Structure 1
Amino acid sequence: MEVIKKENIVISNPETKDFLADAYYPESKQKLPLVIFVHGYKGYKDWGAWGLMAEKIAKAGFFFVKFNSSHNGTTTNDPHNFGDLEAFGQNNYSKELSDLGAVIDFFITDERVDDQKVILIGHSRGGGISIIKTSEDERINGLITLASVDTLERFPTGNAFENWKKEGVYYVMNGRTKQEMPHYFQFYKDFEENVHRFDVERAMEMAKAHILIIHGTNDESVAPKEAEHLHILNPNSELFLIDNANHTFGAKEPWESPDLPEDLNKAIEKCIDFINNKIVHE
């Protein structure tokens, strides 16, 4: 089945700023379930093997969307690099949720899309954002987390926090690009002002969608116990652990193979089965 790709579609969000999205879908006379992928911290839509993932999910009969959140540090002119570190520093969870809402609004009205079948796939921090969005937006009836966090309260503590508050910024080295990535204190203030809304545990308990939790047992960034915790919070969810898989399920940037990494392929096949069984044929 041939997949049609529309890349770098400009999405305008008056609450944030313009950002880019890609759509992958097969030719079909029937309306297709809408599957939206939400990247994580220091993530972007073209990272690693996400393009191969998009093609595989679209080939399975879905309208697949991936996007750069507006303040992830990329730009509409250069979606592959962190060319706007000032925007990265001004990112926060409110902006990421707003961007995800704008993506849903933009694509749910597409004539090819079945607006009764909307599924989010969130990786890492994007998993936490997807859980919150699912609890807030009744249009979403499927949620899949990939190596998701179980809390968004992930900030410096102790002296490091006090220094952040005093200086107004702290930096994290990007191991791949060697850039010093800024985090302004507004990020924490946004969390504090919306602490109830950003409660991932509460959102997981309240989520009414069909939920699949996928995690690698060798995840070096987010412990597998966070996946187990999410599953306990919503016992109707399904937990799928992949033995020895790491945080990105074997993918890395750049990904130069034409084939998906074995663990990511396993995760995607599970996603496809889950969507077909729980949402398409329910």
Structure 2
Amino acid sequence: MPDDTASHPITRTPFELPSPDGGPSVRGDLHVRQGARPTAAVVLIHGFKGFRTFGFFPTLAQEAAARGFAAVTFDFSHNGIGEDGADTFSAMHLFAEQTHTRNVQEIRRVMDALAGGALLDHGVRSIGLLGHSRGGGEAVLAAAGDPRVDALVTWAAIAGIAERWSPEQVATWRAGGTVQIENARTKQMMPVGPVYWRDVEQNRERLDIPAAAARLQIPWLIVHGDADTSVPVDEGRRLFDAAGEAAELLVVEGADHGFNGKHPYAGATPELQLVTEASLEWFQTHLK
């Protein structure tokens, strides 16, 4: 990723959006170029077992801010990151109760705060979403139901939800049990409780990502690596096939699920540089 921040210092302002039901807050960071008064914002959305300081997210936010956008990174309230902010998931009890429906609602709460002036001293007029992995699928769902979204970018996005799980996992949830998912990075076993599957079954139409993709009329850049073993590139092609004429597909040769980047972040790979530049140019072209 090119470093434009030396000539354009970026301010990072933490924020907290209280839950309307008294539950955990959404915590995030607002990145703005010093002295700028942005009228367009880019919201970055992490995926399953992700968080706002994961890998490329902070640098991507700074690059977006350097180009004049208000850039937001945030943690879903139930992503397992505790109040300490550590990347070792100290709030597993929250992770166990995560749902797609809540995540989509929280994306919209962040947009509410941007459009209504709660994060800036003025409301932005144009919003773009950039989601990675599961966050990409949830960005599609959020964008399809919200006219405030003017442009969309997805990186390695999932194209479906229910089919991701085995019959044994589904049976465990239906019996009221909890499924344990290993985190390959931390080696922790991460619990996903039955509330997750109840949300999927009760909201199948609302959580139908290809159907949401078909409703989208906004400019959408679909980015996927052809060496992705976590979410195969065929899922990116499936989204592209479902999408309207305003969508474009960028398949990155040799790129894995994180576009060959790592956490902790060790600098941009050529693949990350490519997709970052393409994504920011997309927003510069399509956001007012």
TM-score by length of structure 1 reads: 0.92
C-alpha distance 114-273 of structure 1, shift in aligned 2 (>3 A): farther
Partner of 2:4: none
Runs of 4 or more, structure 1, over 4 Å off, are: 111-114
Give deviations 1:245-278, integer Å, cap 9, x for gaps: 11001111112x3x32221111110011111222
- One-letter code of the match for 1:244? G
> Pick from 277, 281, 285: which aligns with 1:269?
277
Output the CA distance in 2 between the equivalents of 1:270 and 1:156. Answer: 32
1:101 aligns with 2:111: no
Superposition pairs of residues 58-207 of structure 1, within 5 angstroms: 58-110=65-117, 111=120, 115-166=124-175, 168-207=177-216
Q: Is the 8 A contact 2:38 2:68 kept in 1?
A: no
* Structure-2 residue corresponding to 1:56: 63
Distance (whole Å) between structure 1 residues aligned to residue 160 and residue 172 of structure 2? 23
Determine if contact 2:79/2:98 at 8 Å carries over to the other structure.
yes
> Does the C-alpha gap of structure 1 residues 109 and 4 become closer, same or farther in structure 2, counting only changes over 3 Å?
farther
1:238 maps onto 2:248 in alignment? yes
1:175 match: secondary structure: coil
**Amino acid in the other structure paired with 1:128:** G
Q: 1:14 aligns with which of 5, 20, 42?
A: 20
Q: Which amino acid is the alignment partner of residue 47 of structure 1? A: F
Match of 2:258 among 232, 248, 251: 248
Alpha-carbon distance between aligned partners in 1 of 2:36 and 2:13, rounded to the nearest angstrom: 22
Q: Which residue type is aligned with residue 271 of structure 1? A: S
Q: Deviations over 1:122-172 (max 9, x none)?
A: 100001100010111101111100000111224533234323432511101
- 1:114 deviates by 6.2
Match of 1:269, as an amino acid?
A: E
Mark the CA change 1:113 to 1:250 in structure 2 (over 3 Å): closer, same or farther: farther
* Amino acid of the structure 1 residue aligned with 2:280: I
Is the 1:39–1:45 Cα contact (8 Å) retained in structure 2?
A: yes
Contact map agreement 1:34 1:113 (CA 8 A) in 2: no
Alpha carbons of structure 1 residues 161 and 33: separation in structure 2 relative to 1, 3 Å: same
Q: 1:167 and 1:133 mapped to 2: Cα distance?
A: 28
Shift of 1:225: 1.1
Q: Whole-Å Cα distance in 1 between the matches of residues 214 and 87 of structure 2?
A: 36
Contact 2:156 2:257 in 1 (8 A): yes
Alpha-carbon distance in structure 2 between the residues aligned to 1:170 and 1:96: 19
**Residue 3 to residue 29, structure 1, CA distance change in 2 (3 Å):** closer
Distance 1:75 1:5, change over 3 A: farther
Q: 1:26 to 1:104 in 2, by over 3 A?
A: same
1:27, CA displacement in angstroms? 3.1
Check 1:24–1:92 CA distance in 2 against 1; reply closer, same or farther (3 A cut): same
